[in-house]
Structure 1
Amino acid sequence: MQKLELEVEAIQISIYTNIVLNILKTHGELSVNKILLFSYLIKKEKFRPRKIYTANNTQDVICKAISLLSGEYTEYCENVKFILKSIHLLIINQKIELNGCLLSWINGQEVEKSLYQESPFVEKAIEESKKMSDRQFMKEVISNV
């Protein structure tokens, strides 16, 4: 049983490593708190049969993105450890940098195209989240989840 759990963990970390690299390559830098949420949303989006929101949504984009966690709080919390482990691996292998609480993509790093691509809606939510402090972002997450 232990071997199977380790294999599952390795797969999860691999998936999130690729997602985090793709987010940072696209957006340059993002805080750890925001990476945690958006990485999870990108991974889960692959398994939604239809898109709930589109890039045409212009108001409350961040709140709408956070609302996608509705009913998945426990699963999100379980995935946080995999996302943090993937971030740690990327930092120690010098694929990304951590400056305070901001993660940055190191220019020139090769990134494999991921099966887990961010939708235009999530891309818009990430860009909007850059205008918001981490404190305000976490308040929104807590109040919506």
Structure 2
Amino acid sequence: MSQDDEWQGSKGKEQRLPVFAETCRWLDIYFGGREPGFVPPYQEKNATPFRQVVLNIVANIPYGRVTTYGEIAQEAARRLDKPRMSAQAVGGAVGWNPICLIIPCHRVIGAKGTLTGYGGGMMNKIALLRLEGHRVTEKGISSGVTDWVKW
């Protein structure tokens, strides 16, 4: 018996859970350049109430669309019944996102289309935005107004 077998016990056996099949199907469709039309089930663990609100907003940015940290801050403030919210605070919550792609934080950009940080690396953010049909350079995104989400 290997140390891995001993450590994992019966959990080390191959498991064919439906959530993995759904996620693989979602990824295949997405990386095939199409909007999957569904979201595989997931759980946000250890998210503060503020992070939950921000991630829920981000999760609802449609395929092929983008929004800004400032727009998310305005919507989060509305949902939390606050007079205003900091775009920087939203940036921290977006950066905490543990499920990139499924919760599409790559669709969040800076003011006036500028590209900002991305945990998966800026080149990956650019590639994902291009996959979704955006015209992107290292300096920013140059999509039409219809590509922007405003709440």
Normalising by the residue count of structure 2, what TM-score does the alignment of the two structures yield? 0.34
Q: Which structure is higher in helix share? A: 1
Higher RCO (CA-CA < 8 Å; seq separation 6+): 1
Larger radius of gyration: 2
